[in-house]
Every structure is written in C-alpha cells, then in structure tokens.
Amino acid sequence: MRKILLIATLLMLAACGKAEKAAPAEKEAAEGAGLTLKAEDVKSLGIAVKAAASAQFIGSIAGYGVVTALDTIAQADSEFLTAQAAAAQSGAAAARARSLSTGEEAAISREQVEVAESKAAADAAALALARRKTEAAFGLNSPWHDAASRQAVMRRLASGSAVLVRVTFPVLGGAAPQRVEISRMGADRKNWTAHTVWDAPADAAVPGRSFYALVDGSDLAQNERVTAAIPTGASQAGAKIPAQALVYGESESWVYVQTAANTFLRTKVDTSRPLDDGYFVDSVKPGDKVVTDGAGLLMAREINPSTGAEE
C-alpha cells in the first residue's frame, strides 16, 4: 500500500511539472497570436489599415550633389572656344607669313615672320591654358574631347534638356560608376538616372570622391542641391510600409499587422532601407494589412492592458 501511494505521489509531481512547463509555452503562443480587441474598441481607437505594397530594393552608396550653374559652364566653354579660334587664326597667319618670306621675291620681311610666329606661340599657350582650366574644372575624362561632341553637349545644356550635376560620395573606390541615381530633396522626391558619369576634381568643401553626371530630361534648377546614389548588389523583393505605420518601443521599430478582423500582431521591422515616404521590409509580406492610424494606441493597450479605449 505504501508503495502504491509513493507511485501516485510521483505521478502527481510529474503532472505538476508538465503543467508548469506547458504554462510558458501557452503564454508564448498567446503572445504570438497578437492583440485582440472588441469591435467597438477598434472603432474608438481610430484604427485604420492599409495593404503593404510589393516593392523592390537595391542597395546603394549614398552621396550628395549640386547642379552646376549654366553660366559657369558657358564661361569655361567660351574661354576655350575663343582661345581655340585665336590659336587657329594666328597659326594660319604664321604659316602664311613663312610662305611669303621665302624665295628671291619675298613679300614680307623676316621680322614680320617672327612677329607672326610669336603671336601664334602666345595664342597656342593661351589655348593650352584654357584647356587645362577646363580640365581642372570638369575633369580629364569629360565627354567633350572633340569639337563635335563638345558642341552637342553644350547645346543640350544651353537648351535646358540636360543639366550637369557634381556629386560626392564619402566612401567609394574603384572605377567611375556606370550610372548614378539623382533625387530631388524635400517632399517632391523625383529621381532621374544619369548614364554619362566621369571623375570630377575633388571638392575641397566636401570630403570624398566626386563625379560629374549628365542628367537628361529633368526639371532641376541651377545650383539646386540633390541626393545621389550608386546602386550596388542585386534587387531584393519585399514590401513597402508607410513611415506613419511605425511605432517604437523596447529599442526596436515595429508595425502592427492585422491578422484577423479585430486582431493585430506587433511585428519587428528593419528601417535601414528607406523607400521614398516609407521603408522596404521583408518581415511583412505584400498584401498584409498594416495599421497606419492608431498603432501607438495599440502598443499602449498591448503593454498596459488596463488602458481603456477612452484613454
């Protein structure tokens, strides 16, 4: 009989142990199920939801830039063309003077030839200086090495169909990028892609590596400040959540996802990948209903269940 009582006692203790172990598991399951409210509470809290849109994200290196003023470009171009024309004219005059100074019936004196040659040399030096000034301002690899390409680019800039943007990236090595994404600052986040990119002289005011980017079809104003990005890595698929859906707590960023009619699950999100007026995330799926209004009140209710809807 005493043996039977001992076995029964051991069985009861084992059952209690299982119940104690099951309690945390049930608690975790309950926490994972989300916050369930009454329909009238959802209405009084002003809860509004919006389906998360599908999105693609490509990692990038961020930088800043400014649209180069047209008068700066025009002045440098004018000085170069003026020097080029003067050098061509004086060079031709010197060659003509040399041809007229030879033979028994020389038409001009040796002194006149020397004056023409001196003028040609001075104009050639002025042209070399103008070229170096242009290279110092716009880099050695600018896309206008010949007269035809220079004229074509300047025509685009003068007509406003293209703008020249100087961008600087704090940390960047290797060759010049194949393309640069240019975005307007502020609420109007228009963006354009520049495919003509070359090294620019270093910017003394901003540390980092600088480039010039020729941007077509934009409405950017002269001297306008912009942001720049160089895409890196492969495209990632995920969802975009609006910035207003975020709530912060426990040193983390969260959104509430509606999992049932009146049930909302707090979900951790990574805010390191901004997209326009929201964020790219992979912890929320496209189509999931995300709380955009009242998320803060939901967190308050979740953390302190005694909080009433009227509060």
What residue ranges define each of the domains in the chain, with the CATH number in brackets? 36-55+237-311 (2.40.420.20), 63-231 (no CATH)
Q: Which of 189, 193, 210 lies closest to 201 in space, CA to CA?
A: 210
Q: Which residues, in sequence order, are bridge partners of residue 213?
A: 165, 197
Taking residue 142's Cβ as centre, other Cβ atoms within 10 Å add up to 20
Cα four-point dihedral sign 210, 216, 219, 221: positive
Examine the pLDDT at 100 and tell me if it is beyond 60. yes
How confident is residue 307, by pLDDT bands cut at 50, 70 and 90?
Answer: low
Q: Which residues contact 79 (CB under 8 A, 6 or more apart)?
A: 130, 133, 134
Examine the pLDDT at 31 and tell me if it is beyond 50. no
Taking residue 263's Cβ as centre, other Cβ atoms within 10 Å add up to 15
- Pairwise CA distance, residues 29 & 24, whole Å: 9
Q: Which of 275, 180, 184, 185 lies closest to 232 in space, CA to CA?
A: 180
Q: Which residue has the tokens 């509470």?
A: 41
| Each residue's pLDDT tens digit, 231-288 | 887 788 999 999 999 999 888 999 999 999 999 999 999 998 888 788 999 999 999 9
